[in-house]
């Protein structure tokens, strides 16, 4: 039984190339690939994203939905990540909020128009097209709306525009955090040793140490927000405890999540960065973590997706 099968906090859905034979039995993703897959390539990921959302929404236990790429890694251990997600009150995306810069506080507000054709009529309507980072966290109502796919022309939009434009069109912008970064940090500053870090892609990390991890956890697009990542980690034991130490009627301590602009994941990481990332996340990782636990939270699944 692999790591995904041994836990009950998340459900995982993987979208790979249609001609990919599947992950081998030793892979953590073995058995989690979607049966229905479509071609996915840069600037044309929306159909694959739509397939993932539909598959995840089908399970009523999934309360929140997180879209990941193959180069994303979490900035927190699973339980700390889960607590931050499950206490979200809004989707972590810029859902078409007015006067919110596209790529940070010094960028110009995004206001662009495009004519799209409604699916069921020949009448043209004027739509506003909105942009956010494509790696998002959605609440179930927003994921359900995205899974309905009311307008076929929206699938022609790049993935960075599909969800924000959809939410804005349906008047749901105020139900999002309005942050352009979403839950995933990316380093868009130029790195001399990484030619891809200037232009269309964030910098790629080939290793990670504790100092870099701390800086990523504190990187927020809002200058007036502080991310108490140490407090977030310290709060975990009070929400999860072994059955052997739990007393009937015991009430968990009050929990306050970090502000929604604090990142929970980061990218891009090369495959060789995994070991150093694990060491930074668990500097004193226990040899045998407890198996039977009480979770003092409402039960819900979280969709982790690979596209």
pLDDT attached to residue 119: 40
pLDDT attached to residue 63: 95
**Are 32 and 12 in contact, with CB atoms under 8 Å apart?**
yes
Place of tokens 């859905």: 13
Could you tell me the pTM of the whole model?
A: 0.80
Cα 293 to Cα 241: distance, rounded to the nearest angstrom? 6
Two tokens, residue 222: 């809002």
Neighbouring CB atoms inside 10 A of 265's CB total 23
Using one digit for the tens of pLDDT, what is the confidence trace for 171-189?
898 999 988 788 999 887 7
At what angle are helices 159-169 and 140-148 packed, to 10 degrees?
Answer: 100
Diameter of the chain measured on Cα atoms: 65
Could you list the mean pLDDT of each consecutive 10-residue stretch along the chain, which spans 307 residues?
A: 84 91 88 87 80 94 93 92 93 76 42 38 54 88 85 69 85 87 83 56 88 92 87 85 59 80 93 91 58 40 42
């Amino acid at each position: 039984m692999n790591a995904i099968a041994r836990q009950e906090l998340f459900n995982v859905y993987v979208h790979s190339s249609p001609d990919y034979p599947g992950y081998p039995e030793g892979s953590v993703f073995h058995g989690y690939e979607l049966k229905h897959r479509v071609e996915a390539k840069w600037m044309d990921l929306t159909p694959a994203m739509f397939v993932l959302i539909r598959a995840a929404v089908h399970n009523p236990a999934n309360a929140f939905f997180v879209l990941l790429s193959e180069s994303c890694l979490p900035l927190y251990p699973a339980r700390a990540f889960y607590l931050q997600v499950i206490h979200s009150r809004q989707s972590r995306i810029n859902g078409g909020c007015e006067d919110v810069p596209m790529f940070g506080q010094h960028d110009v507000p995004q206001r662009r128009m495009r004519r799209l054709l409604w699916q069921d009529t020949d009448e043209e309507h004027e739509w506003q097209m909105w942009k956010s980072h494509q790696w998002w966290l959605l609440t179930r109502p927003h994921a359900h709306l995205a899974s309905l796919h009311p307008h076929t022309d929206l699938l022609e939009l790049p993935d960075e525009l599909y969800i924000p434009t959809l939410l804005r069109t349906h008047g749901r912008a105020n139900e999002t955090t309005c942050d352009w970064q979403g839950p995933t940090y990316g380093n868009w500053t130029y790195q001399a040793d990484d030619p891809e870090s200037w232009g269309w892609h964030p910098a790629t990390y080939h290793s990670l140490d504790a100092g870099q991890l701390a800086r990523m956890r504190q990187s927020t697009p809002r200058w007036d927000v502080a991310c108490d990542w140490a407090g977030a980690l310290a709060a975990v034991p009070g929400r999860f405890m072994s059955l052997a130490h739990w007393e009937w009627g015991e009430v968990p301590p009050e929990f306050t999540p970090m502000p929604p602009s604090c990142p929970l994941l980061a990218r891009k990481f090369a495959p060789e960065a995994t070991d150093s990332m694990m060491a930074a996340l668990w500097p004193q990782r226990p040899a045998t973590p407890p198996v039977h636990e009480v979770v003092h939270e409402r039960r819900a699944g979280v969709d982790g997706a690979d596209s």
